[in-house]
Structure 1
Amino acid sequence: MNGIKKHRGSRRYYKKLATENDLDKATCLDFDNPETWFENWHLHFDWNGYGNNCFKRRKPHLDKLFRHFDILVDKTKRLKTDFQLYSILLDFASCNDALFLHTPNPNNSQFPFTISDLQPTTTLTNRGLDDYINKLDGYEKLYGQADEAFCLIYKKNVGQPF
């Protein structure tokens, strides 16, 4: 044994990743109600961290994340308020990759949400992730460094920019 635990049912798991729409299960996403607000509401796509050590396992989770990003771009056209739609991808922690939706909200959390010290030049050391991000068309990319290097991704002319 080489110490890697076999993921049972992985063929079925990855097939489901490619087709499932997690937004269908999100009951809080009412884009037609003018009272709707989101306080950095987010979705993770690799809860188990399958892609933490292997980009081949991370890529299908990222594909799902960006498929959902595009679905949300369409749905947010119905929002009656300002919003931010963005993703944050961490250098190696695939389990923390997430897609965020944020609006002004009654909790007085910062809107628009900002992160200081972002730059247009990559801070990532994960070559597979960096290559994947560079191939994304139609997305703006900003990079930073916290506990781990990360990339913040959004689309121009979709909600408030960063």
Structure 2
Amino acid sequence: MKKLRGKKRYFRNLWEEVNTCNLKLDNDSWFDFWHTHLDFFGVGENNLKIRREHIKAHVALYNRLLKQLEGFEKPYQTWICIHEQDPISDAVYVHTPNPNDNYFPHKIEELEWNCKLPNTFKDLIDLHKFDVAYYKSEYEEIYFIQSKEQGIRL
């Protein structure tokens, strides 16, 4: 991958996106696996420092959304997915009961809760605030990060 040009502007825009993201919450609000990817172009794929900055941004966005959901009356789930080999797929999710499908709450049976975080980002996750689970298939390895206090567990 080519060197990232305009790094300062790129990260200024990334943090602007994090700091201005607002859920549209009212009595009719619902989310069908709503999510957002902050490293949409895979900028952090070959650079650990840039990857860590994206993970920090995902955690900050997650905290922002949790704050917004504090007064939300409906049941919901929120989580962060950090893909071990595919930073483009890293995302923050919000899911509620919705008219598209009756699949709520989302459950993943194969999750390994209280797993050990990789050294690359274990210092970025506050284990007093968040539960962490690990999922491995033949195609991917994913860390699920979820609030201990808010929302329904995966």
Scaled by the length of structure 1, the TM-score of the pair is: 0.83
SS at match of 2:112: coil
Please say if 1:140 is aligned against 2:131: yes
Query: Residue 24 of structure 2 aligns with which residue?
Result: 30
Assess, with a 3 A threshold, how the Cα gap between structure 1 residues 84 and 121 changes in structure 2: closer, same or farther.
closer
- 1:29-68 superposed matches below 5 A: 29-31=23-25, 33-68=26-61
Instruction: Pick from 138, 143, 150 the counterpart of residue 158 of structure 1.
Output: 150
Deviation digits for residues 81-101 of structure 1 (CA, Å, limit 9, x no counterpart): 000010111002111100000
Assess, with a 3 A threshold, how the Cα gap between structure 1 residues 13 and 36 changes in structure 2: closer, same or farther.
same
CA distance in 2, matches of 1:151, 1:8: 29
Scaled by the length of structure 2, the TM-score of the pair is: 0.87
CA distance in 1, matches of 2:66, 2:142: 22
Q: Does the CA-based 8 Å contact 2:131-2:145 persist in structure 1? A: yes
Please say if 1:87 is aligned against 2:80: yes
SS at match of 1:159: coil
Percent of residue pairs identical: 27
Q: AA paired with 1:13?
A: Y
- The Cα shift of 1:118 comes to 0.6
Assess, with a 3 A threshold, how the Cα gap between structure 1 residues 78 and 121 changes in structure 2: closer, same or farther.
closer
- The Cα shift of 1:121 comes to 5.5
Q: Does the CA-based 8 Å contact 1:88-1:99 persist in structure 2? A: yes
Q: AA paired with 2:24?
A: D
Query: Residue 12 of structure 1 aligns with which residue?
Result: 9
SS at match of 2:101: coil
Number of aligned positions between the proteins: 153
- The Cα shift of 1:78 comes to 2.3
CA distance in 2, matches of 1:55, 1:136: 21
SS at match of 2:53: helix
CA distance in 2, matches of 1:70, 1:56: 21
Uncovered stretches (5+) of structure 2, i.e. residues with no partner: none
- The Cα shift of 1:53 comes to 2.1
Query: Residue 106 of structure 1 aligns with which residue?
Result: 99
Q: AA paired with 2:108?
A: I
